[in-house]
Amino acid sequence: MWDFEHPPMREELGRRYALNAMPPSHCARELEADASDIGLIPIAAYATIPNLRIIPGCTVASKGAIRSLLLVYRQRGGIQAIRTVAADTSSRATFAYVQILFKKFWQVPVSFTQHPPRLDAMLATCDAAILIGDPALIALEQRNARALRTGEQLVYLDLGTAWRETTGLPWISAFWAVRSQAAADSEVRFQIKADFQASRDNGLQHIEDLVDEWIPRIAVPQATIRQYLTENIHYVLDDECLNGVEQFFRMAANLEILPAVPQLRFL
């Protein structure tokens, strides 16, 4: 979103788009309700909302360790001992990915419980916890301090790494989707694609500025923020990611986690 939030393009884009900041799961609800035209949505939402088109080239993905998506559990017994998982199940994509891992690959029967992202409380009631976003990044930074405080050793499994090692595929969390009715005009479609792809490219040229902006926003070291933006997150919806999206939808449909997606439709 670099161009949308910074000069020199902010003013021009502000005349074309009215921005509202919210989590991707809320973006999906806005599109579903026809309350917004464009949204950064969890890829799982694409399977349940009709008449959406994907903006080519832009994504939030990872081709290895993500850091911000963790399955945390106690060492004894390992994954095979897990039966209950505390999670923020409103994160539709992560929830679907984890269900695929447990059902298809680990073959461990588990139940999920909705829970706020507080690790100690989650593990007090369940065998494992899923942490997403800032809580995951912070938990990794505090893992040694927690071990000293509690005397308990936990496994912090990076879900991006686990998915890559298990399937050979990248993890695609979200992409930009547009309501088909909002982009019926070919010139509008061209403009949207050009604006979002240029903003992505310009953001990649300003990583250090983004690091500086995020230092006061999250309680993790500067080096962690830089590594997250440069090594953990992949921003281009390339052929490998598109294959990953298609394989994800195929597995999710076969396991009846998501409805079948017959074909990806692009802007």
Residue 99 maps to which CATH number?
3.40.190.10
Per-residue pLDDT tens over the stretch 202-245: 999 999 999 999 999 999 999 999 999 999 999 999 999 999 99
Examine the domain organization and report whether 98 and 117 are in the same domain. yes
Per-residue pLDDT tens over the stretch 157-208: 999 999 999 999 999 999 999 999 999 999 999 999 999 999 999 999 999 9
Per-residue pLDDT tens over the stretch 248-263: 999 999 999 999 998 8
Q: Residue 219 in contact with residue 138, Cβ under 8 Å?
A: yes
- The answer to whether residue 265 sits within a structural domain is no
- Percent of the chain at pLDDT > 90 equals 94
Would the pLDDT of 65 be above 80? yes
Would the pLDDT of 84 be above 70? yes
Q: Determine the average pLDDT of the residues in 40-66.
A: 96
- The answer to whether residue 154 sits within a structural domain is yes
What per-residue confidence (pLDDT) applies to 106? 98
The helix/strand/coil state of 186 is: helix
Residue bearing the bigger pLDDT, 247 or 23: 247
- The answer to whether residue 140 sits within a structural domain is yes
Give one word for 156, left, alpha or beta, with left for phi > 0 and alpha for psi -120 to 50: beta
Examine the domain organization and report whether 243 and 111 are in the same domain. no
Q: Which domain holds residue 221?
A: 2-63+170-254
Examine the domain organization and report whether 108 and 192 are in the same domain. no
Per-residue pLDDT tens over the stretch 86-102: 997 667 899 999 999 99
Would the pLDDT of 75 be above 90? no
Examine the domain organization and report whether 226 and 99 are in the same domain. no
190: number of Cβ within 10 Å: 12
- The answer to whether residue 236 sits within a structural domain is yes
Rounded CA-CA distance 92/56 in Å is 21
Rounded CA-CA distance 96/155 in Å is 21
What per-residue confidence (pLDDT) applies to 89? 66
- Residue 177 makes CB contacts below 8 A (sequence gap 6+) with 31, 38, 39, 41, 45, 46, 49, 52, 53, 54, 55
What is the number of domains present in the chain?
A: 2
Residue bearing the bigger pLDDT, 219 or 55: 55
Q: Determine the average pLDDT of the residues in 97-123.
A: 96
Kindly report the average pLDDT of the chain as a whole number.
95
The residue from 145, 167, 189 where one domain ends is: 167
What per-residue confidence (pLDDT) applies to 267? 94
Examine the domain organization and report whether 207 and 136 are in the same domain. no
Examine the domain organization and report whether 163 and 85 are in the same domain. yes
What per-residue confidence (pLDDT) applies to 91? 77
Examine the domain organization and report whether 118 and 158 are in the same domain. yes
Examine the domain organization and report whether 162 and 176 are in the same domain. no
The residue from 167, 197, 212 where one domain ends is: 167
Calculate the alpha carbon distances from 106 to 101, 102, 138, 170, 266 in Å. Answer: 6, 5, 27, 18, 33
What per-residue confidence (pLDDT) applies to 90? 64
Examine the domain organization and report whether 196 and 236 are in the same domain. yes
Dihedral sign, Cα of residue 159, residue 161, residue 167, residue 173: positive
The residue from 139, 167, 195 where one domain ends is: 167
